Structures are given as C-alpha cells and as structure tokens.
Amino acid sequence: MKLNKKWLVFLIVLFAFSFSGCQGSSSGADTSSDSTGDASSKDPQKLVVTSFGGAIQEAQEEYIKQFEEEYNADVEVVTLYSADALAKMRAEKNNPSLDVVLFSGGQEQIAKDEGLLMELDKSIIKNMDNLYEGAVHPDGHSVTFGYESLGLIYDENRVAAPPTSWKDLWKEEYSGNVGLVDISNTYGYYFLLAASLMEGGSEDNIQPGLDIITKLIPNTAAIVSASPEVGNLFAQEEVMIAPFDSGYAYTFAEQGVPVNFATPDEGGIGIYMTANVVQGSKNPELAQQYIDFLLRPEIQALTAEGGGYSPTNVHTELPEKLSDILPNGEESFNNLIHLDLEKVNNNRSAYTEQWNKLISN
C-alpha cells in the first residue's frame, strides 16, 4: 500500500511538471510568433506609382511624404507619360511592377478593355463620393483626380477684354499676333479638333477645321511644337493670343509672363488626368488608399498649385491666385467638351499627314 502511494505521488509530480513544460513551450512559441509579426508590421509597405515628370511630379513627390508617414509606406515614383505607361502595363501583364498608373490621354479605357485595370472599391476610396459626378468613370475602374481645359491664353497687358470665343482668333485686331501649336503636340491636335467641331466637323471629319485654320495661318506669328515655347512667345511679346492649355497658362503666369486664360463660350476641350490601379498589383489596398489620398481636398489644392490641374473634389477650395486663372467648379467641369478619345487616337496618324501638307504649302 505504501508503495502504491509513493508511485501515486511520483506520477502526480511528473504529470504536473510535464504539463507545465508543455504550456511553457507553447507560450514561448506564441511569443516568438507575435514578436515576428510586430517586426514585420513595422516594415514599410512598398508601392510603385507613376507621374508625368516636371512640376507635377515635384509636387507629388513632396506630398507623398505625408502619405508614407500616414500609411507606413515606401512609395517609388516612376516617370512615365501615358502612352509609355500603357506599353509597360502590356509588357508586364503577367507580373506587373506598377501599382498605380496615371493617364492623361484616355488610355484608361484601352487598359480597362484589355483587362489591365482592377475595379476600384468605394469602401476604400471614400472620396469617390465627393467627386463631381462625371469624375467617376461609369465602369468603376478609374477616377479623374484633376483636369485641364484647352481654351484661349491671352496677353492681359495687350488684350483689352478677355476673348470669349474660338472665333476671336480670326479677329483683325490679332492679325500677325496669333500663336499656334503643331499637332505633334496634343494641345495643338486638340485645337484642330476644336476648330473642326466649331465648323460642323467631328473627330472623324477634320476637313472643316483644316479649312478654317488655312484662313488663320496668315495671321499667325509662329507655329511651335514644344509647350514651353508658347510661354516664350508671350514673354517676348511675339503673340497676343493662342489656343492652349489652362495648366500651362497658370505655369507661365507663375513664371512672370503676363498671361491669363479664358474658356470659349463654345466650351473648352477637356483633358482629364485619371488614377488607376493595375490588375495584379502586389498591394491593391494600399494602391487604392493612395488614390483616396490624391482625392483629398487639401491634396487636390496642392496638385493645382504644383501642376495646374483643376480639382474634381466638390470640397476643394483654391486660393485666389489659382481660381482667377484655372477653370474650377462643377459647372466648369460639366461644360467641358469631352472628345471621343478612341476616334481621336485612331485618326491621329492620318490627320497628321493632312496637317503637314497644310502647313508646308
């Protein structure tokens, strides 16, 4: 009987020790796991986004620092124009290196049709509910975070009253003082389309535009190709008026050139900057949080100041120096002429040939 008691005590002690050891081992494993999780959560999340270079990229790189701090992110900014970004997306379709792509020429529709974009989630991009109605694309794959208008830039020192119509370019008072942009530049191409629409043509029929511009060329001081050259024409007082972009009007004014911008009564041509998440993004939630960040009112104001892009969030308020020159407000946005960009892009090569024949004569 005594032997049995000794064995009983021994077994109880052994069981207690074994149970304690198992618990300790289990607890240690959990602690180790928690520690590893905490360490990994402190590592910045990688995000690769595109920008267009120049002043707008400088502005974005500056406020991206705030995004990185808020979301514990490491953002790489890649300079890519729209066509180049689309080409890269196509080449990397099965293993994309980009997370967020910005477009300015309507390429988002092509990318969506080719399955290169993911649908955006409003529960993540909460600022989608604060955008102008037309700034959220119907297919749900893209949002417009900024826009520009092709209209009329004029020398506010030498033009008595702001122009009100595209037809003002043909006025006798501007003879010899009109600046034009070659259609190798998108802004020049869009003016050709605007002239065609004004004369009853369309994106599929630019002959009316070519005919009316033929009458304008004798009044033209210069036809330039690069956008900064337009600013130089005004700075050197070679021109008084030119069909050009609202964003550049702001940029030139900031550089001290005495210009202002007017939207023709017939409507300005809309140029839309869109933000899109690449299908197969390695961090789709963070990518959408970045787009939501771009849509914040205060960030849109910084985008306007840095790049001349008019805002699309109804709550964005621009300082007077911006609102005096940049188109802004929902009415302005809704009154823009929205070109059929598929036709615009498909016809560009043929139209360029026709244009070159015109200006060579």
Per-domain boundaries in the chain:
45-147+271-334, 149-269+339-360
Does the fold of domain 149-269+339-360 match that of domain 45-147+271-334? yes
- The answer to whether 193 and 185 have CB atoms below 8 angstroms apart is no
pTM: 0.82
Tokens representing 226? Answer: 């690069």
- CA dihedral of 152, 153, 155, 159, whole degrees rounded to 10: 10
Which residue's structure tokens are 């402190």? 42
The span from the CA of 20 to the CA of 300, in Å, is 60
Q: Show pLDDT as tens, one digit a residue, over the chain (361 residues).
A: 444 544 444 444 444 444 444 444 333 333 333 333 333 468 999 999 999 998 899 999 999 999 999 999 999 999 998 989 999 999 999 999 999 999 998 889 899 999 999 999 999 999 999 999 999 999 999 999 999 999 999 999 999 999 999 999 999 999 999 999 999 998 999 999 999 999 999 999 999 999 999 999 999 999 999 999 999 999 999 999 999 999 999 999 999 999 999 999 999 999 999 999 999 999 999 999 999 999 999 999 999 999 999 999 999 999 999 999 999 999 999 999 999 988 998 899 999 999 999 998 7
Backbone torsion region of residue 54, taken as left when φ is above 0, otherwise alpha when ψ lies between -120 and 50, otherwise beta: left
CA–chain centroid gap for 34, Å, is 41
Superfamily covering domain 149-269+339-360: Periplasmic binding protein-like II (3.40.190.10)
In CATH, 45-147+271-334 is 3.40.190.10:
yes
